[in-house]
Amino acid sequence: MSQSEFIKLFSVNSNEYYSIANYFIQNGFNVVTYSDRVSISITGSYYQFSESFNTKFGLISAGSSYIAPVSQVHYSGPYINDISNIVGLNNEFRAK
């Protein structure tokens, strides 16, 4: 399957994709977009994530300690119905 066939079958349209990316840029995040328009990578501060996802974070101790959400994550930005998953809201696997 070619990349263009994949995009046609599995990706949101470019207007929707970049509207979601711009939402995070406007909220101060660093944003990385991908040509397949399937995912967006964002980095930011604890405060940005807490405010943008309306959730609280805490220190989790399970063998090692890491910061992760301790309440339900809520996304209320654009195209909410096109977002199927939010992952990685922790620093458990941060490079040392």
DSSP string, 8-73: HHHPPPHHHHHHHHHHHHHTT-EEEE-TT-S-EEEE--HHHHHHHTT--EEEEEESEEEEEESS--
pLDDT at 96 over 60: no
In a domain? residue 90 = no
Q: Which residues, including other chains, have CB under 8 Å from residue 28's CB and lie 6 or more apart? A: 44, 45, 48
Q: What is the pLDDT of residues 7-21, one digit of tens each?
A: 888 888 889 899 999
In a domain? residue 96 = no
At 5 the three-state DSSP class reads: helix
Q: What is the pLDDT of residue 92?
A: 61
Q: How far apart are the first and last CA of the chain?
A: 37
CB distance 30 to 43 below 8 Å: yes
- Better-scored residue on pLDDT, 27 or 96: 27
Vertex 72 angle, CA 68 and 75, to 5°? 100
In a domain? residue 86 = no
In a domain? residue 38 = yes
R_g (Cα) of the chain, nearest Å: 15
- The model's pTM is 0.76
In a domain? residue 88 = no
pLDDT at 5 over 60: yes
Query: In which domain, by residue range, is 11 found?
Result: 3-81
- Better-scored residue on pLDDT, 4 or 32: 32
Q: How many domains does the chain have?
A: 1
